[in-house]
Amino acid sequence: MAASGGSTGEPATDLQDTEFSISRVQLQVLPHLSSYLPDTLLPVHINPLHHNPFFHPSHSFYISPTDIVLRHIAHDLSGTFPPPSPRLAYLRAGPHHQVYFKPSEVRAAIVTCGGLCPGMNTVIRELVVGLWELYGVREIYGVKAGFRGFYSVEPLRLDPKMVDSFHKRGGTMLETSRGGFDLHKIVNAIHHRGYNQVYIIGGDGTMRGAVKIFEEIRSRKLRVAVTGIPKTVDNDVGIIDKSFGFQTAVEMAQQAISAAHVEAESAVNGIGLVKLMGRSTGHIALNATLSSRDVDCCLIPETEFYLKGKGGLFEFLDQRLRENGHAVVVVAEGAGQDLIPRTESQREERDESGNLVFLDVGGWLKAELKKWWEREHPNELFTVKYIDPTYMIRAVPANATDNLYCTLLAHSAIHGVMAGYTGFVSGPINGNYAYIPLDEVAEARNEVDIRDHKWAWVRSVTNQPDFARTSSGMNG
């Protein structure tokens, strides 16, 4: 609302500039089939939802090209915290009045790639049920075993009956894999099998692959819509609020932390050490720490730590053991990788997708803690109980919140594809589902910002040292 001087006689604060103004909004343009295919190849149809007895579509039911979601909703009107200008906006997700596919001509393909994440099966289920029930699509195929499955495995025909209980199971019923990305073989297979809608569920690597598939399809002028559905237990994909399955994983991590706490409390000078997933981001460790409150120290990849000397981990734990008799340390798998001695070949080792293979920071830390205690307090009892729940936090079915999230994601993706959009990703931005260009998502990282309130909150809860501030020359 613009301020006026009013009756107070104060000069009017000029807020006109900061008012919502369409001219200052930059709508991120989504690729559309019509941008590279002629109208003759793209007849439009009325959305079948219009005649669906379960819906009573009113005018506001449909998304119009002016329905947007703003990327940044926190603003400082004084201008000291300006949002990036102009304000970024994305098309709101939802059904469109006109669609670019006749349900009877749709051949949809669904693929899952990369590591597991709670909720993958729910997304598959809801894509199948949504395509079938909302739009009357009958030809839906599951591509097995990740990207390589396009060109090397017979697809699986899917229908609602077959996927009915998928959401109750962890993992992916379509199977997944790393590596095997052969662009030309994949696009040839999409073309030859006659798929015209491709739903790609995967993490950051998958999204980068999906961009290449979309670009190749566009350059071959194929009438195929491609959409990405971001999946990452690490929550490392940017722009979207959070990835599906992440909350479930954090919830599962609580069990490991609780067990570590019980073990530590029940020993003399007991340390409970928990390693949690998080290749390059510490979101799981951070959120599990904040929700558990049993954690004394949380170590994440975004900030270095060191063991010895003033302000180091050993000094801190020594103090905690003296004060409380026990301590719990949570470490994200990607933390401290530079501290662990490794051979030249270990330095180069990568998985099939090209991701660096990490050494076990938990095992290394456990050994270092034992050496330290023997050195400093040789005659005192000491125990480190190391818990590595690894796959237990991601190989579970999604919780209720994540299941609902997966359903909305799947429906958003279907509506966008039916409306002819391609090369896009669906996801929540500030709680509203939006369509984001695929290439933007593929590049955007979501790392823990250690200058942010959330990390300060972790430090205030744990009271752990600020390693970043005291780190100069202390490693060893």
Ligand X SMILES: Nc1ncnc2c1ncn2[C@@H]1O[C@H](COP(=O)(O)OP(=O)(O)O)[C@@H](O)[C@H]1O
Ligand Y SMILES: O=P(O)(O)OC[C@H]1O[C@](O)(COP(=O)(O)O)[C@@H](O)[C@@H]1O
Q: Which one of the spans 1-9, 41-49, 130-138, 202-210 is the region binding Mg ion (CB under 5 A)?
A: 202-210
- Tokens coding 447: 């790392």
Positive/negative CA dihedral, 33, 35, 38, 43 = positive
Residue 119 touching ligand Y (CB under 6 A)? no
Q: Own/partner pairs for 214-219, CB < 8 Å, 24+ apart?
A: 214/31, 214/422, 214/423, 214/438, 215/423, 216/183, 216/184, 216/187, 217/187, 217/190, 217/422, 218/31, 218/36, 218/422, 218/423
Pairing outcome for strands 87-92 and 25-27: parallel
Q: Which of 142, 146, 272, 362 binds ligand X (CB under 6 A)?
A: 146
The nearest distance, CB 234 to ligand Y, in angstroms, is 5
Residue 234 touching ligand Y (CB under 6 A)? yes
The nearest distance, CB 272 to ligand X, in angstroms, is 29
Residue 301 touching ligand Y (CB under 6 A)? no
Length of the chain: 476
3 state SS of 355: coil
Q: Which one of the spans 163-171, 272-280, 403-411, 462-470 is the region binding ligand Y (CB under 6 A)?
A: 272-280
Contacts of 88 (CB under 8 A, 6+ apart): 26, 28, 70, 71, 72
Site for ligand X in 350-389 (CB under 6 A): 353-355
167 or 178, CB closer to Mg ion?
178
Q: Which one of the spans 84-92, 162-170, 232-240, 364-372 is the region binding ligand Y (CB under 6 A)?
A: 232-240
94 or 205, CB closer to Mg ion?
205
Determine contact, residues 123/129, Cβ cutoff 8 Å.
no
- The amino acid sitting at 83 is P
DSSP state of 144: P
216 or 304, CB closer to ligand X?
216
Site for ligand Y in 326-345 (CB under 6 A): 333
Residue 439 touching ligand X (CB under 6 A)? no
The nearest distance, CB 205 to Mg ion, in angstroms, is 5
Contacts of 331 (CB under 8 A, 6+ apart): 273, 274, 275, 276, 285, 298, 299, 361, 362, 365
Determine contact, residues 302/322, Cβ cutoff 8 Å.
no
Q: What is the total count of residues that contact ligand Y (CB under 6 A)?
A: 12
Residue 203 touching Mg ion (CB under 5 A)? yes
Among ligand Y, ligand X, Mg ion, none, residue 333 binds (CB under 5-8 Å by kind): ligand Y
Would you call 212 exposed, middle or buried from its count of C-beta atoms within 10 A (0-12, 13-18, 19+)? middle
208 or 275, CB closer to ligand X?
208
Determine contact, residues 410/132, Cβ cutoff 8 Å.
no
The nearest distance, CB 204 to Mg ion, in angstroms, is 4
Residue 115: name the closest of 228, 231, 286 by CA.
231
- Which is catalytic among the residues 39, 182, 234, 236? 234
- The amino acid sitting at 323 is E
129 or 210, CB closer to ligand X?
210
Q: Using CA atoms, how far apart are residues 67 and 69, in angstroms rounded to an integer? A: 7
Q: Which one of the spans 200-208, 219-227, 359-367, 447-455 is the region binding Mg ion (CB under 5 A)?
A: 200-208
Among ligand X, Mg ion, ligand Y, none, residue 179 binds (CB under 5-8 Å by kind): ligand X
- Tokens coding 308: 């010895």
Determine contact, residues 417/225, Cβ cutoff 8 Å.
yes
Site for ligand X in 161-220 (CB under 6 A): 178-181, 202-206, 208-209, 212
234 is annotated as an active-site residue: yes
Site for Mg ion in 423-462 (CB under 5 A): none
Among Mg ion, ligand Y, ligand X, none, residue 277 binds (CB under 5-8 Å by kind): ligand Y
Residue 173: name the closest of 221, 236, 119 by CA.
119
Among ligand Y, ligand X, Mg ion, none, residue 181 binds (CB under 5-8 Å by kind): ligand X
Site for ligand Y in 368-427 (CB under 6 A): 394
What's the distance, CA 123 to chain centroid?
14
Q: Which of 222, 229, 233, 321 binds ligand Y (CB under 6 A)?
A: 233
Site for Mg ion in 204-223 (CB under 5 A): 204-205
71 or 148, CB closer to ligand X?
148
The nearest distance, CB 322 to ligand X, in angstroms, is 43
Determine contact, residues 39/100, Cβ cutoff 8 Å.
no
State the binding string over 63-102 for ligand X (x if CB under 6 A, else -): ----------------------------------------
Tally of CA atoms within 13 A in the half-sphere of 377 that contains its CB: 15
User: What is the separation, in whole angstroms, between the first and last Cα of the chain?
Assistant: 57
Applying CB under 6 A, the residues found at the interface with ligand X are 113-115, 146-147, 178-181, 202-206, 208-209, 212, 232, 353-355
Task: Provide the annotated active-site residues.
Answer: 234
Applying CB under 6 A, the residues found at the interface with ligand Y are 114-115, 203, 232-234, 277-279, 333, 351, 394
Applying CB under 5 A, the residues found at the interface with Mg ion are 203-205
